[in-house]
Chain A
């Protein structure tokens, strides 16, 4: 704790220098000098968190401090801090000693602006007891959350914490429960606990590193190069979202004409239906300024989800990715898609769905894992969503997976097919193996099947798609539809909450 001592001394020295300069001011003040000085000292101590040594240690790890992070996240000069003087209340294990008290404790909280828009923020301070969660820490976080709730503004949490403060025992656990939903953990139990329970040898990075959580577990939505990159991207991301579920999706100034034709889309779908192409190319071409903020880009890559804008208005994009597993839906992609669709619906963000799906992924792993259950989540999410829903079928839309992907049957508002669309129960080859098993003239039958079903007409004549559109006109069609659908209203009968198949 020598560290804390030295820093406190440094803080005091600074305080003295400043107070020396303020003699004239002080003499005019009605407050007793000692109080002003104490305020000043506390503020300075709070600004240093766990002290210079720990700040340096944090920097050495390539990490920024809680306050540095806030300064990059928010518009310059917009941060208004609260609870700078809050301290922890623990007295066990010598925690009551002055050297173990830090004004503000292990979290910095307050409000500020991102591109002028209001946001509440808490940023855990790893330099104070490893950012661990004390009762005071939890109380500070809950306070700004409550305030955010009353004004209808979002909360951003910057987490950098070792976990619950062990010295505090049950009080900190109560705090956990309060903010549990708004924190994401790198792991529930660390490598040591894993070793003692399951005898697995695993490093911290393997167990809960960025790569694990963005590629395997799906716990984290994006990983960034470093703190600065992450915070810049967070500002960018924030601009896509409304302040609350009560507000419409924001419309940012747009330089990209809404009637721009996209000729490069007319040739993007390969002639052979088994050949892959990159659905992200289509998304980039259609959306404003080729800007697409992809969520979970490295997890369940057979489905693409993310935010973009159409004529300035935020939209959520869902697309099958033919490049990965032919764009089949499986457990992970269904859950990824469902979560995203519900997020968009919760925050009034219209959904644009690009469909090229040959079906659900077959196999025991999928069936035993409950693909029916998980696939139902995506179906349910689309069906329940009341935001504007525009769907474009670029190629395959086979079987049950077709239904799931924001089809007309799930109350899509505008459902379009490109001329290359094939809306059918299954592909021609698979159908032949079932209908004409053992027959001789399968080729002729297959040709007939392709002629009859491997095109957009069967769906179009039944009204399952509203129109067959030229790919180059996709952007203008979507932009016009969204203009009209801006006033869409759907009344649902009251219920406590919907019953998504979890």
Chain B
């Protein structure tokens, strides 16, 4: 069901299948599913910037109209390929998404309900109605939502879960069958954890996906997660389109993906690819699908599951193979045979994908954040960059949907070039109004272990055992940051003296003549003495005794500032600049707060009283925006007062409970 549905009837019939015993289900969920969807296919799409130049044959008639049963970037992605293929598109949307990008891109749009996904994007009746009304000939579900097979799992209780887990052998992973994205996933090492995991995962799955059914599978400790993209048609052909390395994960959700994998040799690659194709052929799978493996350090690989849908990270495969997966999905759904032979599938260069999320990486590697994108600018002006997104300046990131902002993909002739381009792309990405995870992404891709390819699914917790703390500046980098902050401060001070027509002003202006700006800059509670002087846009800055030359346009309105510091080109973003001297500067991905004062002001600031810091030992604030699900205390039992109730929507930092 998770492929591209051809015709409305198959959508309905697909929805009624699936009474299998949990036992079989756990062992072979993907296989089982596929047997019942042999007439369904899968599609994916590509994107922009000629990275993927899959051709389109206008004589090859496929469909007149496809309904895209999804939202956000993947809906946009699918619509783009449909447009390229001359296929009309129908978007579905919830009421809050009425003016979102995918709705604007589609030829038609149908509102299928209010914001909660269970009432809109998972609302089968409304979507069926939309299909009928718009006479769409096929449905592309994208990933998530309807693409997830809801039929193959059956209700089970905790005892059954324990029985199955024992049979498989601990450790096991319990995950939502409808899910993805790390939601509703738990790892269990024993019976008790299985029971707990079962309870939490089904709750989470029910609230996130409207479906509390679970899968239990073998969990391999410290593995790499490597998956093979496959593509099958209805004529018994299937191809493997190389692998994707998806080991960088947090809470079992992928964060950074790449293709190919630095770990696989061509022999292992072929072995995995051939197994994946054999599997696809065995179930007569005819669409784009993904066969996931766990690979241990000795390059032993274990089949994990088959995803019968387009994967989030499909663009990296498209970049290195040149195929448009969505286009191929649509073609084979119509019954055309594959256009490629296995020998035609290349590995051209290297591609990396970063999932840019609206979340705070300093909390558990990423707790969701919400807000409105007050400013938004994708780095698509750079070479080798592809951005798959479904948002625009002004879009809302709400609590209702996945907080993914975009998928940022860079492509180069080799891994080094792809990663360097990723650094630049992350530096040039302007996202304001919501907290984002660019700091974490940038740290991952410059981490020496990552660069060496020494990664596994525990990478983040291994590298950051105490949690992510942002980029750690080297001494040189710190000097550069201070020099840029000083220059920016002086540039804005000088600009404040530039008035139009002041020559004619009634009372003449007498500009202060300051040859050397003696400043004091506070960074991370350390105070640095800085002296800056300028000649036009060129600054000479002395930081803690060493001299740096800093040049830029010093455009104070631009969200991006390209600065040359002693020959090194840096792109920084000044997020805020206050009259009192506080500045927030994004440098090397991380946002640094600096406080720039003149030397005199800094001396006098010694007399200012310290602001009293809030005592947080007796209060509980919400760590993230969300909904209060349950409240187990009331005033009197250990707590003084309660400031929320079940069902409330709360913002980050809102006071929840005061302890006694």
Q: Measuring CB to CB, which residues of chain A are less than 8 angstroms from any residue of chain B?
A: 59, 62-64, 68, 71-72, 75-78, 113, 115-118, 151-153, 224-229, 232-233, 235-236, 239, 243, 246-247, 250-257, 263-268, 271, 281, 284-285, 288-289, 312
Contacts and interface: CB of A to CB of B under 8 A. Distances in A.
Given A226-B608, A252-B495, A266 B507 contact: no
Given A62-B607, A151-B507, A226-B608, A264 B394 contact: yes
Interface in B589-611: 597-598, 600-601, 604-605, 607-609, 611
B472 interface: no
Given A77-B512, A229-B580, A232-B580, A255 B372 contact: no
Contacts of A289: 556-557
B374 interface: yes
Given A253-B500, A281-B372, A113 B555 contact: no
Nearest to B514: A76
Given A76-B598, A236-B579, A264-B375, 13 more contacts: A62-B608, A64-B604, A68-B604, A77-B512, A116-B497, A116-B512, A117-B499, A226-B605, A239-B496, A253-B495, A255-B556, A264-B374, A267-B394
A288 B557 contact: yes
A152 B506 contact: yes
Given A117-B507, A252-B498, A76 B604 contact: no
Given A251-B500, A255-B558, A266-B394, A228 B505 contact: no
27 contacts: A76-B512, A78-B512, A113-B512, A115-B496, A115-B497, A115-B511, A115-B512, A225-B580, A226-B609, A228-B597, A232-B601, A233-B579, A235-B496, A247-B505, A252-B500, A253-B499, A254-B557, A255-B558, A263-B392, A263-B393, A263-B394, A264-B393, A266-B394, A271-B98, A281-B374, A288-B557, A289-B557
B373 interface: yes
A228 to B, nearest CB: 5
B581 interface: yes
A253 B512 CA distance: 17
Contact of A255 (B99, B497, B501, B555): B555
A41 B409 CA distance: 73
A221 to B, nearest CB: 15
A77 B392 CA distance: 49
Nearest to A275: B96
Given A62-B607, A228-B580, A246 B506 contact: yes
Nearest to B600: A71
Contacts of A281: 372, 374
A267 B97 CA distance: 11
A499 to B, nearest CB: 31
Interface string B381-408: 0000000000011110000000000000
Nearest to B611: A225
A252 B511 CA distance: 14
B376 interface: yes
Contacts of A257: 557
B613 interface: no
Contacts of A271: 95, 98-99
Contact of A75 (B499, B501, B505, B512): B512
Given A225-B611, A227-B608, A252-B499, A268 B510 contact: no
A63 B98 CA distance: 54
Contacts of A246: 506
A251 B512 contact: no
A120 to B, nearest CB: 11
A211 to B, nearest CB: 14
Contacts of B609: 62, 226
B509 interface: yes
Interface string B572-598: 000000011100000000000000011
Contacts of A250: 499
Nearest to A118: B507
Contacts of B505: 243, 247
B40 to A, nearest CB: 35
Nearest to A313: B500
A38 B99 CA distance: 78
Nearest to A56: B607
A224 B372 CA distance: 27
A174 B557 CA distance: 50
A266 B496 CA distance: 32
A228 B374 contact: no
Contacts of B372: 268, 281
A239 B558 CA distance: 21
A254 B555 CA distance: 9
A50 to B, nearest CB: 16
Nearest to A256: B557
Given A243-B507, A264-B375, A271-B99, A228 B608 contact: yes
Given A117-B507, A232-B580, A255 B557 contact: yes
A252 B498 CA distance: 6
B112 to A, nearest CB: 16
A116 B511 contact: yes
